[in-house]
């Protein structure tokens, strides 16, 4: 593996390139762009789990930090901007096609959680992406219009506008911590919803904790996400082979629901919904058995379509 800095017109994107065993710079390899979850970073599941595993199977994998996240540029921090997030995929693709050992006609994408929604959206108009895979992929725009805005998106937009005005006039930034500080704190607060509790188990313990994966959000800059939808125009523009992996232990973040929706709506002639029975959203981040089941489907999917 090597860490690289990918230039864009706005700032640099931090990425890790994972190489196959016996890598030879004189060869030609299929490549996969791996995208991390919401509020996360490349060191959490997209790189250290799926990136490494896919590289071992013969792919060059680029796990990158989206703008405002991880080691990538962008100020202020902790912004999830869907437009720039999708644009980041294009710049990673720009980087890949400059590498002599990458076959430009065999570039795929894998997105985990919110990175899955971004990957789907990016693939619609970034035609250098030839195959699309997601693991417990979620439509971040839908989440923002529903649970993440208290099911009152217009009221949330009004509050965000007021906060942005205050910050423009010099007020302190409002950065929300999206999770309890620990599983114990979650229990004490009465958190029982599976996705919220298991997110806390992952991000707030040594299991998944990483310096850049903070799961925080700058409240005043969330408005754009409320008006965005990962699946917009998928009936027309999403034509690449598509594999969607979800667990059947359903939680509030809605990956199972979103997976069923995109499989139903996508124009792709080759598409498959993979349901990993008995496992949840966060189990698919790093637990060996469900990750192994996901990879058992994803690896042949990418081999066939890249």
d(CA 77, CA 74) in angstroms, rounded, equals 6
pLDDT digits (tens, 9 = 90+) for 76-119: 999 999 999 999 999 999 999 999 999 999 999 999 999 999 99
How far is Cα 126 from Cα 190, in angstroms, rounded to an integer?
A: 43
Which pLDDT belongs to residue 264?
98
For residues 299-303, average pLDDT: 98
- How high is the pLDDT of residue 240? 98
Residues with Cβ within 8 Å of 184's Cβ and at least 6 positions away in sequence, in order, are: none
Q: What is the mean pLDDT of residues 235-263?
A: 98
Residue 192, class by beta-carbon neighbours within 10 Å (0-12 exposed, 13-18 middle, 19+ buried)?
Answer: exposed
Per-position DSSP letters for 89-155, written without gaps between them: HHHHHHHHTT-TTEEEEEEEEEEETHHHHHHHHHHHH-TTEEEEEEES---HHHHHHTGGGTT-HHH
pLDDT class of 145 with cuts at 50, 70, 90: very high
Average pLDDT, the chain: 97
Average pLDDT (227-249) is 98
- Which pLDDT score, from 0 to 100, does residue 20 have? 98
pLDDT bucket at 137, cuts 50 / 70 / 90: very high
Q: What is the pLDDT of residue 31?
A: 98
Which pLDDT does position 73 carry in this prediction? 97
Q: What is the pLDDT of residue 15?
A: 98
Dihedral of the CA atoms 127, 128, 134, 137 (nearest 10)?
-50
Alpha helix positions (H), the chain: 50-56, 82-96, 114-125, 140-145, 153-168, 183-188, 194-203, 223-226, 234-237, 255-265, 283-286, 288-305
Q: What is the mean pLDDT of the segment spanning 177-189?
A: 96
- pLDDT given for residue 197 in this prediction: 97
Residue 296: predicted pLDDT: 98
Residue 167 vs residues 31, 76, 84, 164, 177: alpha-carbon distances, Å: 42, 11, 21, 5, 18
Domains of the chain with bracketed CATH: 2-148+230-305 (3.40.50.1820)
- The pLDDT of residue 185 is 97
């Amino acid at each position: 593996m090597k860490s690289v800095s990918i230039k864009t017109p706005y700032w640099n994107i931090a990425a890790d390139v994972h190489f196959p065993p016996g890598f030879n710079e004189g060869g030609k390899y299929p490549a996969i762009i791996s995208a991390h979850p919401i509020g996360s970073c490349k060191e959490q599941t997209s790189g250290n789990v799926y990136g490494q595993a896919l590289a071992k199977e013969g792919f060059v994998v680029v796990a990158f930090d989206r703008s405002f996240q991880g080691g990538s540029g962008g100020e202020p921090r902790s912004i999830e901007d869907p437009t720039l997030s999708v644009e980041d995929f294009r710049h990673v693709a720009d980087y890949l096609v400059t590498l002599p050992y990458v076959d430009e006609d065999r570039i795929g994408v894998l997105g985990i959680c919110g990175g899955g929604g971004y990957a789907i959206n990016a693939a619609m108009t970034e035609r250098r992406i030839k195959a699309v895979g997601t693991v417990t992929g979620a439509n971040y725009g839908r989440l923002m219009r529903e649970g993440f805005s208290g099911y009152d998106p217009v009221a949330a937009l009004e509050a965000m506008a007021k906060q942005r005005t205050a910050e423009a006039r010099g007020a302190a930034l409002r950065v929300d911590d999206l999770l309890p500080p620990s599983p114990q704190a979650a229990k004490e607060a009465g958190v029982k919803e599976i996705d919220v509790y298991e997110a806390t188990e992952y991000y707030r313990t040594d299991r998944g904790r990483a310096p850049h994966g903070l799961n925080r959000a700058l409240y005043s800059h969330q408005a754009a996400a409320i008006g965005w939808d990962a699946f917009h125009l998928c009936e027309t523009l999403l034509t690449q082979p598509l594999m969607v992996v979800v667990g059947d232990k359903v939680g509030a973040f809605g990956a199972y629901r979103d997976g069923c929706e995109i499989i139903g709506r996508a124009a792709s002639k080759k598409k498959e919904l993979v349901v990993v029975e008995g496992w949840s959203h966060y189990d698919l981040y790093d637990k060996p058995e469900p990750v192994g089941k996901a990879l058992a489907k994803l690896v042949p999917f990418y081999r066939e379509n890249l």
